[in-house]
Amino acid sequence: MKQKTKTWIAALTLSLISICSCAQEHQPTRIPRWVSEKGYWVVESNINTPLDHIIWFYDNDNVLIHKETVSGIRLNVKKTKVKMKLKKALESAITAWEKNKTQEVNKNHISVLLK
């Protein structure tokens, strides 16, 4: 009786493992809506000067598109509203870069959106 019980437990364990592993393959990854398909942004800030930020915009090929210094505004990058504004500024900077193919510095893409 002991041997039969061990066999049944082993079979049950193997079947549960195979069911769980099959179920996880079909889950699509969800991309947050603040992630742009055109590129990404990086915010550089300092804890000693919380009102000064440098924001770098890159395209998907890791080419620097735009750099902007923002002063007098506290950016809380954890908020979705701020992330959406940064996405919008990124996409406008990439559109401007595609027209001119020159890097823009401090063209106030972000300052206009944050006001």
- Write out the chain's pLDDT in tens, 115 residues: 578 787 878 777 777 777 655 545 566 788 899 999 999 999 999 999 999 999 999 999 999 998 888 888 888 999 999 999 999 999 988 888 888 877 666 567 676 666 6
Output the pLDDT for position 25. Answer: 57
Q: How many of the other CB atoms lie within 10 Å of CB of 57?
A: 28
Domain map (residue ranges) of the chain: 39-114
User: What are the residues whose beta carbons fall under 8 Å from the beta carbon of 34, sequence distance 6 or more?
Assistant: 80, 83, 84, 86, 87
CA-nearest of 63, 66, 64 to 86 is: 66
Q: How many of the other CB atoms lie within 10 Å of CB of 113?
A: 15
Output the pLDDT for position 105. Answer: 62
Q: Please tell me the total number of residues recorded for the chain in this structure.
A: 115
